[in-house]
């Protein structure tokens, strides 16, 4: 506990006349909250941030959910909608500090699946639509996407732990939008899978080399446009003949599936990950 006080500013106990630390019931709640998040797979630094944000939220909202209910992921749709709107506005204003605080509040109050499915992915969709309409500049789109991506990647440190089946994730050459794939990896990894993430714009030769070393149980490729899959039709067909290959994103069409033998994931990243994870049940 002393180490957590020094490293994360987690607790601020009072002192007895003899100099002993005196912890309150709120301190106990914070520590238990942090321990629960560590058990869920969060690194201690992230678990500390979530525990502190959860504590602040509870203190500022008297008469609402108890800390243990919040930690269990009890959701309030109205509150979720409000935070999603506020996050979108903060991103549009380049207000990184406000956006980070809102992310902390979301992760503290809601389940990770809900944050990804009902906040992160809708935010990205609205950002993309605004950019396509000309209502958002390239700079605004890059700022928003990068901040979201960095927050999500902070949740991926333990992807390769465990003894479950391995999923190899990548975006083919030319595809730079990988946040949906990151969301998939986060959810499936928290349900027992090991994840190796190659990221955006992965050459097919690099993917094949990784497959030969890792021998994954599952290969998932994501692209926003069909042409990135079409450009690797032959090697993708060869991969799919020996491995289970799933394709996702708007570019994953039935035509690509027929040409390559891959299977289309035609649901959102969170639902797809939960479906894949159910194989371990």
Quick: pLDDT tens for 154-177: 989 888 877 889 999 999 999 999
pLDDT digits (tens, 9 = 90+) for 137-155: 999 999 999 999 999 999 8
C-alpha gyration radius of the chain = 21
pLDDT mean over 257-276:
93
Q: Dihedrals φ, ψ of 14, to 5°?
A: -80, 180
Domain ranges of the chain: 2-71, 77-153, 166-280
DSSP structure class, residue 172:
B
Q: Tell me which architecture the domain covering 2-71 has in CATH.
A: Orthogonal Bundle (1.10)
> Which residues partner with 22 through β-bridges?
14
Let me know: does 156 contact 197? Beta carbons within 8 Å. Answer: yes
Is the pLDDT at 38 greater than 60, yes or no? Answer: yes
Let me know: does 198 contact 168? Beta carbons within 8 Å. Answer: yes
* 166-280, CATH topology level: Rossmann fold (3.40.50)
Q: Which residues lie below 8 Å from residue 170, measured CB to CB, with a gap of 6+?
A: 181, 197, 198, 199, 202, 207, 210, 219, 220, 221, 222
* 77-153, CATH topology level: 1.10.1240
pLDDT mean over 124-130:
86
d(CA 50, CA 10): 10
Please report the pLDDT score of residue 39 as a whole number: 63
pLDDT digits (tens, 9 = 90+) for 92-124: 999 999 999 999 989 888 888 999 999 999 998
Pairing mode, if any, of strands 21-22 and 194-197?
unpaired
d(CA 56, CA 49): 11
């Amino acid at each position: 506990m002393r180490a957590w006080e020094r490293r994360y500013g987690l607790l601020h106990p009072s002192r007895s006349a003899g100099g002993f630390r005196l912890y309150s019931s709120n301190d106990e709640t914070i520590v238990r909250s942090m321990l629960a998040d560590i058990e869920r797979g969060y690194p201690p630094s992230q678990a500390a941030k979530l525990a502190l944000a959860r504590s602040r939220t509870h203190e500022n909202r008297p008469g609402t959910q108890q800390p243990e209910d919040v930690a269990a992921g009890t959701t309030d749709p109205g509150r979720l909608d409000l935070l999603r709107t506020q996050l979108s506005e903060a991103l549009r204003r380049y207000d990184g500090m406000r956006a980070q605080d809102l992310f902390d509040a979301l992760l503290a109050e809601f389940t990770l699946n809900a944050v990804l499915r009902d906040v992160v992915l809708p935010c990205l969709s609205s950002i993309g639509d605004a950019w396509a309409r000309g209502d958002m500049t390239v700079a605004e789109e890059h700022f928003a996407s990068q901040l979201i991506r960095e927050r999500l990647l902070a949740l991926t440190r333990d992807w390769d732990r465990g003894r479950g089946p391995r999923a190899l994730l990548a975006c083919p050459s030319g595809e730079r939008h990988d946040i949906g794939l990151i969301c998939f990896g986060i959810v499936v990894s928290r349900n027992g899978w090991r994840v190796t993430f190659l990221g955006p714009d992965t050459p097919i030769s690099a993917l094949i080399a990784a497959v030969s070393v890792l021998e994954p149980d599952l290969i998932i490729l994501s692209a926003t446009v069909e042409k990135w899959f079409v450009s690797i039709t032959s090697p993708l067909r060869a991969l799919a003949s020996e491995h289970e290959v799933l394709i996702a994103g708007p570019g994953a069409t039935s035509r690509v599936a027929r040409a390559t033998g891959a299977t289309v994931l035609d649901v959102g990243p969170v639902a797809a990950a939960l479906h894949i994870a159910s194989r371990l049940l």
